[in-house]
């Protein structure tokens, strides 16, 4: 007997027929004698609708009320799946975040899970009851509902698996696993049988939304065996695991892209100590995440330009903050551009192979794509390019690194 966490995303619970299908999939595990905790997302499209409604009601919304609205979708799918399971004579009940409870940090809208008290759940699992848990939500210190950021049900599932000591955490979605790149834009993308936690972490944080970044971090820290697989087809998926479990490692395992980027340039910023600290300090204070940063040495020793990127949704806020602190920083101009995308190549093999970045730059040059900003880590190279070339760039790189399916 094993203890399993099974997570189903939005398209997997999109309508009653899909929910019945999921109930049957869960029943299979129960019939095999396993204890099962299921985590569900909202039905496809629901969260987007709720986000829009909250924005229409109030553009500068109170994040606590935003959370009350957008967390509602998961409540519906959890209740419906519990009903569908009961209909198959499988004992089941739904659990909302506060009922478990899942305790989170205070940052409404993108809270982090701090603790899950699994005791009540484990008691019920021991009695043979299936727990159907609303993902994406928890209880903040102010005793109010908090949500975990878009795609957060993945994190609910992994955190729960760690809390109840599950043997496996299966993430069921609308593709067969983790691919070399988004299979929806590159038909030649290949499914990976295995991927390391580190690579998956980079893929997710560079834009591959198949798993929420935070869920991979948690899986890595708590050593949770995560498998990504299709809820539509009965096929083996992708196992996210330690490097040691992978026999043949490619130099580059995947390519990710993100269109959720905006570029900001401050021209003629004073070239003296403390300036970068005050620019990025004021953004950090406002919880703005800064990603790529470039600064050149100044020609005249007096002033230089600084370019950096933030999430597209943070652009207006960032521009306002920098305008407010302009006197302290003394830049000449603030130039913004949201017509950009970030494309990244990822692979642990880069640590021991030279020429990976060069191959990327050549492949982009061959397509006439201009590189605006470059950033690297030990296992990744990212470039910022004009948004309209995203798909072209991803396809060209996929071919250049020999990742195309035969």
Q: Which residues bind ligand ADP (CB under 6 A)?
A: 9-12, 41, 151, 173-175, 178-179, 181-184, 203, 208-210, 254
The site partner of 182 among Mg ion, ligand ASP, ligand ADP, none (C-beta below 5 to 8 Å per kind) is ligand ADP
Per CB under 6 A, does 41 bind ligand ASP? yes
- Cα(216)–Cα(349) distance, integer angstroms: 20
CB of 172 to ligand ADP, least distance (A): 7
CB of 151 to Mg ion, least distance (A): 4
Residue 358 dihedral angles phi and psi, to the nearest 5° = -60, -40
Provide the b/e sequence for 38-50 (b: ≥16 CB within 10 Å). bbbbbbbebbeeb
CB of 146 to ligand ASP, least distance (A): 13
- Binding residue for Mg ion, selected from 73, 118, 135, 151, defined by CB under 5 A: 151
Length of the chain: 406
CA-based torsion, 135, 140, 143, 147: positive or negative? negative
CB of 58 to ligand ADP, least distance (A): 27
Q: How many C-beta neighbours within 10 Å does residue 86 have?
A: 14
Residue 168 dihedral angles phi and psi, to the nearest 5° = -155, 155
| β-pairing verdict for 303-311 and 290-295 | antiparallel
The site partner of 136 among ligand ADP, ligand ASP, Mg ion, none (C-beta below 5 to 8 Å per kind) is ligand ASP
Residue 291 dihedral angles phi and psi, to the nearest 5° = -110, -90
Site for ligand ASP in 136-165 (CB under 6 A): 136, 150-154
CB of 397 to ligand ASP, least distance (A): 28
The site partner of 80 among Mg ion, ligand ASP, ligand ADP, none (C-beta below 5 to 8 Å per kind) is none
- Cα(213)–Cα(154) distance, integer angstroms: 9
Query: Can the peptide bond before residue 101 be classed as cis, meaning omega within 30 degrees of 0?
Result: yes
Q: Which of residues 118 and 151 has its CB atom nearest to ligand ASP in the complex?
A: 151
CB of 122 to ligand ADP, least distance (A): 26
CB of 45 to ligand ASP, least distance (A): 9
- Beta bridge mates, 401: none
- Cα(80)–Cα(16) distance, integer angstroms: 8
Per CB under 6 A, does 47 bind ligand ASP? yes
Q: Which of residues 275 and 385 has its CB atom nearest to ligand ADP in the complex?
A: 385
Report whether 68 contacts 57 (CB < 8 A).
no
Residue 378 dihedral angles phi and psi, to the nearest 5° = -60, -35
# of chain residues touching ligand ASP (CB under 6 A): 13
Report whether 132 contacts 97 (CB < 8 A).
no
- Please compute Rg for the chain using Cα positions: 23
Per CB under 6 A, does 97 bind ligand ASP? no
Residue 289 dihedral angles phi and psi, to the nearest 5° = -85, 120
The site partner of 179 among ligand ASP, ligand ADP, Mg ion, none (C-beta below 5 to 8 Å per kind) is ligand ADP
Quote the tokens at residue 250: 């490619």
- Cα(2)–Cα(168) distance, integer angstroms: 8
CB of 71 to ligand ASP, least distance (A): 9
Report whether 237 contacts 385 (CB < 8 A).
no
Can you tell me whether residue 134 is helix, strand or coil? strand
Per CB under 6 A, does 213 bind ligand ASP? no
The site partner of 181 among ligand ASP, Mg ion, ligand ADP, none (C-beta below 5 to 8 Å per kind) is ligand ADP
Site for ligand ASP in 101-140 (CB under 6 A): 135-136
- Binding residue for ligand ASP, selected from 4, 6, 22, 42, defined by CB under 6 A: 42
- Binding residue for ligand ASP, selected from 12, 39, 73, 219, defined by CB under 6 A: 73
Q: Which of residues 116 and 322 has its CB atom nearest to ligand ASP in the complex?
A: 116
CB of 244 to ligand ADP, least distance (A): 22
Interface ranges with Mg ion (CB under 5 A): 9, 151
Interface ranges with ligand ASP (CB under 6 A): 9-10, 41-42, 47, 73, 135-136, 150-154
């Amino acid at each position: 007997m094993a203890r399993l966490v099974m997570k189903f995303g939005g398209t997997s619970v999109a309508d009653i027929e899909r929910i019945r299908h999921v109930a049957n999939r869960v029943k299979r595990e129960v019939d095999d004698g396993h204890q099962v905790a299921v985590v569900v997302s909202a039905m496809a499209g629901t969260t987007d609708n709720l986000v829009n409604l909250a924005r229409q009601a109030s553009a500068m919304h109170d994040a606590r009320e935003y959370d009350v609205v957008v967390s509602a979708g998961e409540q519906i799918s959890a209740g419906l799946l519990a009903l569908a399971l009961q209909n198959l004579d499988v004992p089941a009940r739904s659990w909302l975040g506060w009922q478990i409870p899942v305790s989170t940090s205070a940052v409404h809208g993108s809270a982090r899970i701090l603790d899950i008290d699994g005791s009540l759940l484990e008691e019920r699992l021991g009695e043979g009851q299936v727990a159907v848990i609303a993902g994406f939500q928890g209880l903040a210190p102010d005793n109010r509902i908090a949500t975990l950021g878009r795609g957060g049900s993945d994190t609910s599932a992994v955190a729960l698996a760690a809390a109840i000591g599950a043997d496996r955490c299966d993430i069921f979605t609308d593709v067969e696993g983790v691919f070399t790149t988004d299979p929806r834009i590159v038909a030649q993308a290949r499914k990976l049988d295995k991927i390391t936690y580190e690579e998956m972490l980079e893929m997710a944080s560079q834009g591959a939304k198949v798993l929420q970044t935070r869920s991979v971090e948690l899986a890595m820290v708590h050593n949770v065996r995560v498998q990504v697989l299709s809820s539509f087809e009965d096929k083996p998926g992708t196992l996210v695991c330690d490097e040691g479990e992978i026999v043949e490692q490619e130099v580059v395992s995947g390519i990710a892209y993100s269109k959720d980027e905006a570029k900001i340039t401050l021209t003629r910023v004073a070239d003296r100590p403390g300036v970068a600290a005050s620019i990025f300090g004021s953004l950090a204070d406002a919880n703005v995440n800064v990603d790529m940063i470039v600064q050149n040495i100044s020609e005249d020793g007096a002033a230089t330009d600084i370019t950096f990127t933030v999430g597209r949704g943070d652009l207006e806020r960032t521009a306002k903050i920098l305008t407010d602190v302009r006197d302290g920083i003394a830049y000449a101009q603030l130039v913004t551009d949201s017509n950009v995308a970030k494309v990244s190549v990822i692979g642990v093999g880069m640590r021991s192979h030279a020429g990976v970045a060069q191959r990327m730059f050549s492949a982009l040059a061959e397509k006439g794509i201009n590189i605006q900003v470059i950033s690297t880590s030990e296992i990744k190279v990212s470039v910022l390019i004009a948004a309209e070339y995203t798909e072209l760039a991803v396809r060209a790189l996929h071919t250049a690194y020999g990742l195309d399916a035969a």
